[in-house]
Each structure stands twice: as structure tokens, then as C-alpha cells.
Amino acid sequence: MLQGHHLDKWPGRWRDGPVFVTSPDDPMVSAYTAPGHCDVPALMAELVDWLNHGELDAPVRVRASMAHLNLVNIHPWKDGNGRMSRAVSTLVFAREADSLLRPEFSSIEEWLGRGQNTYGYYRVLQQVGGPTWAPQRDTHAWVRVCLEAHHRQAQRAQRRTDLLSRAWGHLRSATEQSGLDERMVFALLPAFWGSKVRRAVYQQDAELSDQQAIRDVRELVRLGWLVPHGKGRGGSGRFASLWPPMRSPTGCGRSVPGARRWRSRFARVVLG
């Protein structure tokens, strides 16, 4: 919906007919029948009123979960209902949380994209929503799965943050020992994830001028910490990182060629 739309889906307008949600197990089976299109304007007005004025003392995560559930069950548009329902859930967090939360903590999109989580999400949605529009149904299972999704995603984000923090500290020590500026860690850190190091991205992350970023990258190449790999548009090179010429905290460090091996060794020796 954010990247494009089809005019036959009536973007931005309520649907003008019935809609059926197929089962994730069998696309030939109707798992849910949304309320009639004539009821959509009134139901949406009621939902908007609830978002603005109803049960404002309820925990924000519960309100976000219920906003998500009610919008996806009303199914007011021909397409994009699931995405917009999750976006509204994030909107509730943005409006009502004590502080504006980062996407990792206000959205469950990352959790939904992993393993069997998507199927579990649709199973609970089908269980709670029932075969037809029935707002009086018990929603405890739905709120529970949403809370669990936020909790697990927050845990994953915390582990990732801790890992990056420790990686930054070790790389900072290595650059200092080699007489390099700490800002160069911005150029080396992407390799921890096995990614290519791009001069333009480094320049933006470290808030440098073009010439300063170019000089830094050239210095890392000269020292053998980065190896040129192809060229981007406008002559902007991409660089693969090597294991820096330094000792690991255990005293058994050695040169490890290749970003993938560098990443696995770093995670095992420094963070294990």
C-alpha cells in the first residue's frame, strides 16, 4: 500500500461489496466473512471514536491489540486490511505510550516474519474472530498472542543491542591500539553482520564529509582491514571486511580471511 496500489482495489475508499478471508491452510475455503459493506462506515466511525475516547485507561498494549483485531475483522477495504491493522496498532503505541517507541518495540512485523509465527498469528485470528463478524467473542487468546509477540520481539532486539554494544567496544579497542579514530568503527561494524561496507553509508553514519570518508576507507584498505570488492554507481566502491590484525581477548586471535568467518569467530571468541 505504501509502495503502490491498484485502482481496481479502490485505494482509500470503503469496499463496495462482501469480502471473504480464505483459510491459510486452504485458499479454497472461506475462513471468515466480514460484516456487510453497508455497515462499514458506521463500524469504522465507532472504532475511530473508541480509539480517541474509549477505555483510555486500559494498558497501551491491550488497546493496540484490540485496535488491530477490530480493524482487521471489520475489513473495511478491498485490500491491505492486515497491513493497515498492524499499522494502526503501531499508531496506538506512538500516541499513547509514555515515550515514542522504536519500531522494534511498537510493531510485531519482525516477529511475524520469522518461522511459523505467521501461521500461528492467522490461526489465533481465525479462532478469536470466528467465521463471521461477532464482536462479543472472547478475545483473551488474541491479546495473549500479541503480548507474547511484543515480548519476544523486544527480547530479540535486546539481544541484538547487547551484541552490537559488545562488538563496538571490542572494535573500538582495536582501532585505538592501531592509532585509528574511533569513528572508523562505523565502517567496520557492518562486517560483523556479514554485510558489505559502503563508503556512502559510513559517511552518513559517522557524519563525515565526502573527502574525510574517502580518506578513512582508503586508510583501512591500506592497513588491510578492508578489501575492495567491485564498484558502485559513480565509482563508489563496496568493501568486504577482514578480521583486523589484532589479538582476541583470549589471547589466541589470528587473521581470519573473509567477512563470514570473521563474523562467526568474533561472535564465538568475544561474545561467547
The rounded radius of gyration (Å) of the Cα atoms in the chain is 25
Q: What is the pLDDT of residue 128?
A: 92
**pLDDT > 70: what percent of the chain?**
78
Q: Which helix (H) or strand (E) holds 265?
A: helix 259-269
pLDDT digits (tens, 9 = 90+) for 96-154: 776 656 777 788 888 888 878 888 888 898 899 888 988 889 999 999 999 999 898 88
Q: What is the pLDDT of residue 258?
A: 36
Q: What cell numbers appear for 13 in the block? A: 475508499
Q: What is the pLDDT of residue 260?
A: 40
Q: Is the pLDDT of residue 6 over 80?
A: no
Rounded CA-CA distance 25/237 in Å is 46
Within 13 Å and on the Cβ side, how many CA atoms surround 134? 13
**140 catalytic, yes or no?**
no
pLDDT digits (tens, 9 = 90+) for 161-212: 898 898 899 889 988 988 999 999 998 888 767 777 888 889 999 999 999 9
User: What b-and-e string marks burial along 143-165, b requiring 16 or more CB atoms within 10 Å of the CB?
Assistant: bebbeebbeebeeeeeeeeebee
Supply the pTM of this predicted model. Answer: 0.69
Q: What cell numbers appear for 190 in the block? A: 557492518
Q: Known binding site: residues?
A: 79-86
Amino acid making up residue 45? A
Mean pLDDT, the chain, whole residue set: 79
Domains and CATH numbers, the chain: 20-156 (1.10.3290.10), 180-246 (1.10.10.10)
State the SS3 of 53-90.
HCCCCCCHHHHHHHHHHHHHHHCCCCCCHHHHHHHHHH
Q: Quick check: 256 and 270 in contact, CB under 8 A? A: no
Between 254 and 11, the more confident residue is 11
Rounded CA-CA distance 24/182 in Å is 50
Q: Which helix (H) or strand (E) holds 173?
A: helix 140-177
Between 266 and 229, the more confident residue is 229
Q: Known binding site for ATP: residues?
A: 79-86
Q: Indicate which residue of 68, 75, 150, 170 is catalytic.
A: 75
Q: What is the pLDDT of residue 52?
A: 92
